[in-house]
Structures are given as structure tokens and as C-alpha cells.
Amino acid sequence: MSAQKNILLLGSGFVAEPCLEYLQRSGNNRVTVACRGIEKAQELASKYQNATAISLDVENDAALEAAVAAHDLTISLIPYTQHARVIKAAIKAKKHVVTTSYISPAMQELDAAAREAGIVCMNEIGLDPGIDHLYALKIINEVRDQGGKILSFESFCGGLPAPEASNNPLGYKFSWSARGVLLALRNNARYWQDGKLVEIQGKDLMDSARPIFIYPAFALVGYGNRDSSHYRERYNIPHAETCVRGSLRYQGFPEFAKTLVNMGFLDDTPRETLSAANTADLPWNKVSQLLLGHSSDNSDELLKLIEAKIDTQDPEIRKRIIHGIKWLGITSPKVMASKRGTYLDVLCARLEDLMMYGEGERDMIILQHKFEVENKDGSHNTRTSVTLMYGEPNGFSAMAKTVGVPCAIATQLILDGKLTATGIVAPMTPDIYQSIMDLLPSEGINAVEETL
């Protein structure tokens, strides 16, 4: 019988439970769920026999170091800005770490120290990043091994409501805070397209959205996700004239989102009028009046001002947007706004009121890699890889499972001595990604490949 392994799980968010559930299947694992507020940790740990809860403030270095040292491996599912702190504690204790986040410069700086300590710091092992790496590199390395070249690489991924749950004007729902989704609308995008480096400013990101065909059942559009230009080097596909990684949304989302951007709703400057200290009622028509700088809070006048902020000239989409604005109630004198301090956060509160997943509703994740390939004999073809997964009604969401389970698989493989690459690593080489990928189908996670 294998020796008992002690795992420290930092965070109890929606991704944590699928991760914990997987690790509990081995009777040898003991998991400590750690959060600043012990109530959330206790709520999660109480569901599983070999789990306990502790209160831990990760900004208390002494407490963090003691907790990390008391376990064989730490899984960090807390905000990425804290990962370097966790890794430093792990290096000091010579204990392994797993995160699902991109490797930040602050984390990369610890590579030499992690190697010297002989520890595995596995990162980017969720969905995006994570599963996307596994299935992309599988095909890239197959093509290279057969003497071919990747001439174009496009990868688009989205966490969306299942079609039957996409029943609002944005075609989108939230599992948690809307703030991160809205802030992502401000991100710049950078990628290679037909041999040219394309740079898109955040204010123009929604205008760059284009149709992405995966299956006829889905009306999807995609736009660039931050800087994917370096993936030519990272994936070692130097001949790729196009190299882009992007986000998927349902048709109509970009135009609606761009209207909210044009109105000024991404402004996160604190405003006294919007603060909780303001004891006066704050109807939504007053919020929109202040945001638009209009002299009147009349709903019809505000709607006309908003209509002028709609960029698209497509009459049907314009109608949909106006319908959506009315549905949101942001010009209504009867709907009260939550005083969250900024226009961004006041909007977030309204979206969360209207667009959270309801009981029994399913989410879905969809990921497509598309490659244009030149084969060794000079012939050309298109290869695709599609991962499509639905959440379980009143169970694990697809997003939670596709982030939490790969993380747990990597954790178990490290504890079993099957993943041994030390330093700050990601699943970029076959010795790492193949063993993880082999275990995904039994969890209902796979990719359907096609050559056209």
C-alpha cells in the first residue's frame, strides 16, 4: 500500500471541488482545504471523508510557510498574483506546487531556485491554459514527426451557457463575479495573421470579432485573447503565418458588449454618487443619466442616446441591443442600482442579478484547434481538434471540471513520481502532457480530431 500523501488546497472556489473529488478517490490522499475565512473551507471539506479545513491568510508568510511545509504538495487555486509567494514557501520547504494559471514573470524568476530545491512547480494545467496545450501539442508534434509543417494555427475557446440556457440578450451567464469578464473587454490583443503582426487596442477588441465555424448548431464568434504572438516560438511552429488564440462567444455578444463599452461602463474610477455612503435612492435611469452626461433622466431620451452609441448598422442587431438595454433595466426609474462605488461595479451587480446560472441550468465549454498543414510530400490539409463538454445539472459545471480535474490529475502524477520535471514548468513536452492526456477520457474529457 502506498504511503499517505498530504495535500494543501489553497482556495475553495467552484474549481476546487472537482479537483478535491478526484484526489479523494485515492484512499492515500489527505487534503487540507485552506481559506482566509474558515467557513468556506469547512463547507467544502465537510463533503469528503479525508478532507479537513483550516483558516489561512496567504499574506502571512510565516503561516503560509508552516502550512506548505506540513504537506507534500500545495495546489494554489487562489488569485495568480499570490502564486509566486506560494512557490517561494514551497522552495523553502522543498515541496511541490501545482497551479492552473499562466506562468507570470514573477513565477518564472523562481525557476532556478525551484530546480535547485528539486521541486516540481506545475502550472497552466486547467482548461485554458491547460487542456488547450495538450491537444494542440499532440497534433503539432505528430505533424513534425511525420516531416510536415504547421502553416497556420488558430485556437478558440469559450465557457458559455449550454444553448438552452443562453436565454438572455448577451447569450452569456456567470458562475461567479462578472468583473473579470468585463475587465477582459479592455484587454489588447496581439497575434499573427497571414504573416503580419496584428495589434488590436482594447477599445476595438469587440469590433474585431468574426464568425468561428465549429459545428452548424452553434452561432459562435471569436476575438483575440491577449498576446498570442509568442506561441509561434512556444509551440515551435516557426512556419505558421497565422498564429492566434482567442475567446468564443455567441453571436450578438460583441456588439452588445461594445455598446456598454461605448457608454463608459468599464470606468472603474470611484464615484461619490455611486458609493454606499450615499444614502439617497439610486434608480438606474439616474446612473445612466450621470454616465452619459445628459440633462434629463427620461428613459426614452436615454434610450435614444444609447442607440447613438451602437456601432453596428445591422438593423436586426441594433434592435436586439435596444431590447437588451431595456431588459437590463438600466434606463428604468423603477429598478434600483446597487451602490458599488464605480460604474463598472454597479453594472457588474446588475449583470449578476440577472445573468447567474439558475437551478438545473447547464454550462458548456467548447475548444477548437485548427491547423493548416503542409505534409512531407508537399500536399496540404486542414486538421481540427474539438473539445465539447456540458455541465451536469445541479452538479459540477463543465468549466469547473475541465479546470479542476486536469489540475488534480497532474497533482496525482507528481505524488506518484510519474511527473518529475523540476522547476517552473508547464505541460509543453510529451513526457508531461501525454500522461495527463491519457487519463482525461475516463473523466469524460476528450478531443474529436478530423482531417479535411
Paired residues of 221 in beta bridges: 211, 249
Q: What are phi and psi of 46, to 5 degrees?
A: -65, -15
DSSP assignment letter at 45 = H
Give residue 76's Cα distance to chain centre: 15
User: Hey, what's the cell of 204?
Assistant: 476595438
- Kind and range of the H or E run holding 46: none
Is 128 annotated in the active site? yes
Helix/strand/coil for 375: coil
Contact between 46 and 64 (Cβ < 8 Å): no
Helix/strand/coil for 304: helix
Contacts with 195 (C-beta within 8 Å, 6 or more apart), sequence order: 241, 242
Separation of alpha carbons 254 and 10, rounded Å: 35
User: Hey, what's the cell of 362?
Assistant: 447547464
Give residue 424's Cα distance to chain centre: 21
User: Hey, what's the cell of 110?
Assistant: 523562481
Contact between 363 and 162 (Cβ < 8 Å): yes
Q: What is the DSSP string of 306-317?
A: HHTT-----HHH
Among residues 90, 81, 7, 95, the alpha carbon closest in space to that of 45 is found at 7
Give residue 29's Cα distance to chain centre: 28
Separation of alpha carbons 357 and 398, rounded Å: 13
Contact between 396 and 17 (Cβ < 8 Å): yes
Active-site option among 128, 132, 345, 363: 128
Give residue 396's Cα distance to chain centre: 16
Instruction: Check the CA dihedral 313-317-319-322 and report its sign.
Output: negative
Helix/strand/coil for 385: strand
Buried b / exposed e over 215-248, threshold 16 CB at 10 Å, is eeebebbbbbbeebbebbeebebeebebbbbbbb
User: Hey, what's the cell of 323?
Assistant: 431590447
Give residue 66's Cα distance to chain centre: 30
Q: Where in the sequence numbering do the catalytic residues fall? A: 128
